[in-house]
Amino acid sequence: MDSHEHEQAGALDIGHGPSDTIELDEKEEIYTRALCRTRIRFALYLHVTLFVFVIILLVAINLLTTPQHLWVQWPFFGWGFALILHWFLGIRLLKFYDNIKAEEIARQLENRGK
């Protein structure tokens, strides 16, 4: 293999050239979006974990201090609603956006091939 062939092979592996730049940008975007999805899921899992521990603590406090009046239901339903909203906005809308973005990319690739 001469030096020119070696440079071409290196260019293909590393991603040099105008068409490869698009692929690198797409790979970077895919990585960035995956990182974003991971952070959103981690935040949701953290939110659920805190919800469970705090509600258990509040149930214990409620039952030890005023067992005749159960007030723990109000933070449970209020925070539970916020948790459902977090799940819906963070996970469901993100999947919806990903589907729309995938369709847009498919259309662009189809138009590029024409």
pLDDT digits (tens, 9 = 90+) for 56-107: 999 999 999 999 999 999 999 999 999 999 988 888 888 888 788 878 888 8
CA dist list (Å): 94 to 34, 51, 87: 11, 22, 10
Whether the CB-CB separation of 94 and 37 falls below 8 Å is answered with yes
Which tokens belong to 50? 């805190």
Number of domains the chain is built from: 1
Q: How confident is the model at residue 22 (pLDDT cuts 50, 70, 90)?
A: low
Q: What is the extent of the structural domain holding 100?
A: 3-113
